[in-house]
Homo-oligomer: A and B are copies of this chain.
């Protein structure tokens, strides 16, 4: 009952029917990534996620991680599962082939990420962080650094971490104080970093830390921050783990959730200073971090999707099993499974529609990222690259905020059982709660959305998307059961345009008002853009039904969930618009009101 079964049919529907997968496959970089090959990869990934990773999810929650003498012991079964993950080649799925990666498109890797994270979110954080280290070194490292670190990071034999936060430097990285002092061909790094995910563990023979620190005489603020590689074991010239470096895990956090993921406080340079290697140029650390953030933020948004689907699968299984009472309107006097009770049905449909909408949004953003980098046509690259940039903070902010609500519904479906830890529903609720916080809080995503992604281009990217969705709204008129929703979606699109206009008009002159409106605007954008994609999904399903299909029930269900989304979730966007437009009132409110 607690197993996780990757919804492969749903995943393929979005990846290969909603999205124009052919636009990816025609490109030289991905000519080998045929739909058939992708299907085979996803099926195999599904088996690994469901069979190996998922059963360890509860174990990880119960046992957590233990720190003793600087060494972290991960939960029982984690090291072995990680070994299998590496041996099966899952780590390098979308990594560059020149470093032994398999070079699959990011949108395909997104599907496997959904699986890993749904199966075992705490475990999946380890490869997620490694991917960030790979990207940093691949984009900004020297060819020597790439040759030394990338093969083993890509294979997953070594793992990576991101070291940004310090006690006084959280959302504001300008306050970073860690120091890196030059010494010959390397630096010596000193300082403390907190909240380091998988900062120390027993699953790999080496850990490659990417660390933000200041060089001597660096200017204050963000321009004085550089990025360094600090390996746990300094590699020998031959690439084997060499001498133990001066970096230690000094404590781990006792967290609300993701207990299987060690969250470490790392002490650098408590002896002679940790040997550190500069990545790229001095002073560019934060710039490099930002170039990696799109990937990382997208992945955390996918976590919101993943954990919600995991919660849905568990709640649905319970609702099918648990017999209680006679449903309202039932013609029988017998007690029935609670899935037949209207409000349980409503909760499960909310989760289902929310999960489908998140999946559309996450995969669509990944597709835009792929084509924004690799499309043959420069205009297409520019347009879809800008669209990907627009969507990233929405994917991160909206999916994660929604995941807190949907995993909470997962608890509610279980009634009193949901509050009992043994049931497992509460774990998803606890695990989900980190996602709106790390990799930039929802407020940070909102600020990115209003500033760099909406104001800077005068609203061009978001309006282009809104314009496209007007066509999808119109198309609802031709789908049985949905014509009445054309107006609902059109109204929501107009509302989003109004909000975007407001942001463009206010961001420059009234930055505080704009910042106060940022999160409501982000949430509104999430509901509306996902709504546009759900309408498009309904259109695809309708087309499949019209042209005759052997999967009538599947496609009909997609129209039902699209309808549910537009009747029950999309209208929230209308409730958010007044909050956006009231940003100035919030900005002008004095803190003393809270006395």
Contact = CB atoms under 8 A, between A and B. Distances in A.
A453 to B, nearest CB: 15
Contacts of A433: 408, 411, 419, 426, 429
A587 B339 contact: no
A167 to B, nearest CB: 10
A591 B343 contact: no
Contacts of A438: 416, 419
A572 B518 CA distance: 17
A341 interface: yes
Tell me the interface secondary structure of chain A in the complex.
helix
User: How many copies altogether?
Assistant: 2
A586 to B, nearest CB: 5
A434 interface: yes
Contacts of A567: 578-579, 582, 585
A387 to B, nearest CB: 25
Interface in A152-182: 165, 168, 170-172, 174-175
A255 interface: yes
B575 A442 contact: no
B421 A553 contact: no
A203 B422 CA distance: 27
Given A443-B344, A512-B342, A568-B578, A256 B429 contact: yes
Interface stretch (A346-354, A372-380, A469-477): A346-354
A346 B426 CA distance: 28
A446 interface: yes
A412 B429 contact: no
Contact of A519 (B172, B343, B415): B343
Interface of A: 165, 168, 170-172, 174-175, 194-195, 253-257, 316, 320, 323-330, 335, 339-346, 348-349, 352, 404, 408, 411-412, 415-416, 418-422, 426, 429-430, 433-434, 436-438, 441-443, 446-447, 488, 510-516, 518-520, 553, 557, 560-561, 563-564, 567-568, 571-579, 582-583, 585-587, 589, 591-595
6 contacts: A175-B325, A329-B511, A345-B589, A553-B592, A568-B582, A568-B586
What 4 pairs between A and B have smallest CB-CB spacing? A329-B512, A172-B325, A575-B575, A328-B515
Given A171-B325, A342-B583, A348-B594, 8 more contacts: A255-B419, A256-B421, A328-B515, A342-B518, A349-B594, A419-B438, A553-B595, A564-B589
